[in-house]
Amino acid sequence: MLKINKSSFNDFLSDVMRYNELVAPVKSDESRFETVRDISKIQLDLHTYFPAKKFFFKKDQTLYTYEKGKFKVPELQPEKKQRVMVGLKRCDLNSIKRQDMMFLQEIPDPYYKEERDRTILVGYHCTGPVDEFCFCSSMDLGDFYDLMLYDKDDAYLVEIGSERGRAFVDRYRKYFWDTDLFLRPEDRRIDTDLKLEPRDILPYYERVEWKKDVDRCFSCAACVTLCPSCFCFDMEDEVDAKLCKSDKKRNWASCQLTCFTKVAGGHVFRESRENRFKHRIYHQLQYFRETHGMNLCSGCGRCIRGCPTRINFVQTLNDMHGQDR
């Protein structure tokens, strides 16, 4: 097993920052992953309000530009610095895995791939749930990281999860020490109070209990925006005022908005708020699993934490499940 002493961790990060883009959890107005300029601002154990997905799946990606009769595709930039992202939690990492499944399998998306290829994922294993909204312990999350750090007294124990992680450790070997310390099963566990109890949520789709949540939903889409796993996007043309140039953009989209399922002729597939509300939850916990063998949701709790009316769909599902037992 390897360890890195906390006393030398900032030196290590400074060294990393010299040649790489360093991204870490930072608390400013809100907590988010940011490119670090000042190491003292990093809070490794912070479970960020905003997810890290914008670094790979950009909010706004130009796919091509049309100008003066010619199409131009933005060039990839292979010379970009390597990026080291530290402080990703188990839920964040599992969500990146799910986004990889969407953007790298079958036909890989070149823009997403470029950002993933240049990024080393360094996790920080939570020592406990950050609040009452985390429910990752019930989501069957897997190991997905290049390196994982475990907080152990005056050091971080380091687990290597990939060849890329091993090469990274070799590059900064002077900071890593062999140790007799080892990880106990409980070091790898995160015991959340909230747990999703039903394994199969299909029987609950038509239940009236959803109504109390649906009635409090504004269709504001905060839940989708904050979700590290949600990957839906929309495409639109941005035309300049002189009508000479047009950018085809890919932007984040949300199944909570009526425009998401509006098609030619003006028909909206999920016109009712109830249908939109339930679609998000069933996509996260049912439809994705039917196709990909795992839940899309990683149990990070961001959609509950960030909901203006604190709608807790996990509790609603648990209540229905409890009544049926």
Q: Which positions touch ligand SF4 (CB under 6 A)? A: 95, 217-223, 226-229, 256, 284, 297-303, 307-309, 311
Shortest distance in whole angstroms from residue 300 CB to ligand SF4: 4
Pick from 133, 142, 112, 98: which is nearest to 289 by CA? 98
Shortest distance in whole angstroms from residue 260 CB to ligand SF4: 12
Nearer to ligand SF4 among residue 20 and residue 229 (C-beta): 229
Other beta carbons within 10 Å of 288: 20
Nearer to ligand SF4 among residue 16 and residue 227 (C-beta): 227
Q: 288 vs 49, 180, 284, 293, CA distance in Å?
A: 24, 41, 6, 7
Shortest distance in whole angstroms from residue 290 CB to ligand SF4: 16
Which residue(s) pair with 54 in the sheet?
A: none
* DSSP H helical ranges for 20-105: 90-103
Return the SS3 of 269: coil
Nearer to ligand SF4 among residue 123 and residue 301 (C-beta): 301
Q: 64 vs 73, 103, 233, CA distance in Å?
A: 4, 18, 16
Q: 188 vs 8, 127, 143, 165, CA distance in Å?
A: 24, 9, 10, 19
Nearer to ligand SF4 among residue 26 and residue 141 (C-beta): 141
Nearer to ligand SF4 among residue 26 and residue 224 (C-beta): 224
Shortest distance in whole angstroms from residue 85 CB to ligand SF4: 18
Shortest distance in whole angstroms from residue 35 CB to ligand SF4: 23
Contact between 121 and 146 under an 8 Å Cβ cutoff? The reply is yes
* Tokens matching residue 9: 């961790």
* Tokens matching residue 38: 């000042």
Q: What is the identity of the amino acid at 193?
A: D
Shortest distance in whole angstroms from residue 125 CB to ligand SF4: 18
The CA distance from 62 to 104, in Å, is 18
Shortest distance in whole angstroms from residue 238 CB to ligand SF4: 26
Nearer to ligand SF4 among residue 1 and residue 222 (C-beta): 222
Contact between 276 and 219 under an 8 Å Cβ cutoff? The reply is yes
Nearer to ligand SF4 among residue 156 and residue 313 (C-beta): 313
Instruction: Characterize the bridge pairing of strands 60-67 and 70-72.
Output: antiparallel
CA dihedral 211, 214, 215, 217 (to 10 degrees): 160
* Tokens matching residue 161: 């999860």
Q: 80 vs 77, 115, 187, CA distance in Å?
A: 6, 9, 36
Shortest distance in whole angstroms from residue 90 CB to ligand SF4: 12
**Helix 110-117 vs helix 90-103: crossing angle, to nearest 10:** 140
Shortest distance in whole angstroms from residue 179 CB to ligand SF4: 33
Nearer to ligand SF4 among residue 111 and residue 210 (C-beta): 210
